[in-house]
Structure 1
């Protein structure tokens, strides 16, 4: 099979389309024929050799966390959803634990990491949901806010931020989105109050989801006993005033992903695609994401 991979760390120029063996599904696993996958900032960090923690295997790596495609083979003793060959699915690869990359023609994942794809949605759009949608859902799950609560979301126009706003609206929360001035329309379209990042954040909230990595100064905006979610483990501040602080670490969860698909189908969660790149243009995709300011998923297709 063809796959995007790199055998050394460096800039986008280390990416190449290579031939690799077609993986075989083991017990409880499914092989997916990939139609589309997404690119994330962590992919750029790992490729450049700047990821701060050891990985379970050595180079070469095939990146890719999200997958949209069709079931191609089913391993023995299937667990979880009852898939059949040809089913359209989406899923999340826990890449930092397995380095099973979806920027390939085929990828093998646990059946429990997959769910049925949203009907009528192109694979290129569906592929933008798993990682970022699960991150948003799990951030709000950590906070466990009752309906009517207020939440400030920084980086609100980014992929995860947009999903947090959409899920907050669906849960009956009152969200405020901190974003650039050009993102006002998007933030308000999701029922959130817009707050410009050119101004100092203000107000008092039941919780903060800090995707823009502003940091512990935001605790001043959280009420006593409220909640705060940091974008990664090293950024989690020490609790003060009874504020619960959490770290966002995305976990594979096909059932939770199925909940998100339902909200996509009902129109409660919009999917955004910023660009679509074939394997041969993977370096250009990495360069585009590195430029910043991307509003939507950068998608890789075979």
Structure 2
């Protein structure tokens, strides 16, 4: 099969397109002919050799953990889906990639709704799964006031919408140029960076029940101050959290995920016009290096996607 891959760690130009062996669906899995795949921060870190997991990779490595396409092979034990179904989802966490190729094996997935474009669907999987688990861990429900630090990015923008769908009031931090974008997602925008407690007070919000840190920009002490307790804060990106008593994603969200419920809900909300996967830009697979370069640039309003061009 044709696949984006790299044989050595380095900048985006180490990415190439070539022929590699096809994967096959194992028990409880499906293989898809890929129509689109997402580009995530983990892909950039693994490719550059900056991730602690880079040393686990067997080269050549195919990047990408999110994908959407048409089922062409069913693993044993798979029910409710058939060859030819259009789906979106993610690969096994342990594989650390495999999506940016002609074929990919999904560990969890849901039916792609007609309302969701291929680039949206291809970029959705792990963002929806991570957002759903984070909201579950925090206990976000109707009437909750939730502050999301880093709300304009790929995970943040998805989390805003899923929290709003639960009936929560969401305050989202972002750069000044992100205010209209955040408002369109259903969040109350507030400026990003130091001095957050003062800016939140100017919104006239009586209380903030919970806070989620997606940005990893050192805001945890301020988020604890805003919510009143470390137990009300969860971070997905700042591993100094335990020093403050803040929960960290590795402990709370660890293990092999099963995001089918979250993906199915996102698909339903998309069909109702209440959810979208913000895609900043889509590139052909053969332009993967340019896509990785774009993914490293800000401001990050949503995701970067790759679409099949072979």
Q: TM-score higher than 0.5 here?
A: yes
List runs of 5+ in structure 1 lacking aligned partners: none
Q: Bigger shift: 220-229 or 176-185?
A: 220-229
For 1:210-225, list aligned pairs within 5 A.
210-215=213-218, 216-217=220-221, 218-224=223-229
Equivalent pair of 1:93/1:252 in contact (CA under 8 Å)? no
Q: Does 1:182 align with 2:185?
A: no
Distance 1:234 1:257, change over 3 A: same
Deviations along 1:247-293, one digit per CA (max 9) or x if unpaired, are 16473422321111111111111222221212221111111111221
Match of 2:64, SS state, is coil
CA–CA separation in structure 2 for the residues paired with 1:223 and 1:38: 36
CA deviation after TM superposition for structure 1 residue 54, in Å: 5.8
CA–CA separation in structure 1 for the residues paired with 2:141 and 2:65: 31
For 1:9-20, list aligned pairs within 5 A.
9-20=9-20
Equivalent pair of 1:100/1:108 in contact (CA under 8 Å)? no
Q: Does 1:99 align with 2:96?
A: yes
Equivalent pair of 2:163/2:170 in contact (CA under 8 Å)? yes
For 1:143-162, list aligned pairs within 5 A.
143-162=138-157
Distance 1:30 1:198, change over 3 A: closer
TM-score between the two structures when normalised by the length of structure 1: 0.90
CA–CA separation in structure 2 for the residues paired with 1:120 and 1:269: 10
Equivalent pairs, count:
294
For 1:229-268, list aligned pairs within 5 A.
229-232=234-237, 234-238=239-243, 240=245, 245-247=247-249, 249=253, 251-268=257-274
CA deviation after TM superposition for structure 1 residue 7, in Å: 0.8
CA–CA separation in structure 2 for the residues paired with 1:32 and 1:290: 28
CA–CA separation in structure 1 for the residues paired with 2:287 and 2:136: 37
CA–CA separation in structure 1 for the residues paired with 2:10 and 2:45: 10
Structure with greater proportional helix content: 2
Aligned to 2:111: 116
Match of 2:304, SS state, is strand
List runs of 5+ in structure 2 lacking aligned partners: 202-206
CA–CA separation in structure 2 for the residues paired with 1:132 and 1:117: 15
Aligned to 1:42: 42
Equivalent pair of 1:2/1:19 in contact (CA under 8 Å)? yes
CA–CA separation in structure 2 for the residues paired with 1:93 and 1:214: 28
CA deviation after TM superposition for structure 1 residue 205, in Å: 1.8
Equivalent pair of 1:92/1:252 in contact (CA under 8 Å)? no
2:168 is aligned, of 168, 173, 179, to 173
Equivalent pair of 1:178/1:194 in contact (CA under 8 Å)? yes
Q: Does 1:209 align with 2:215?
A: no
CA deviation after TM superposition for structure 1 residue 225, in Å: 7.0
CA deviation after TM superposition for structure 1 residue 198, in Å: 5.5
Distance 1:54 1:42, change over 3 A: closer
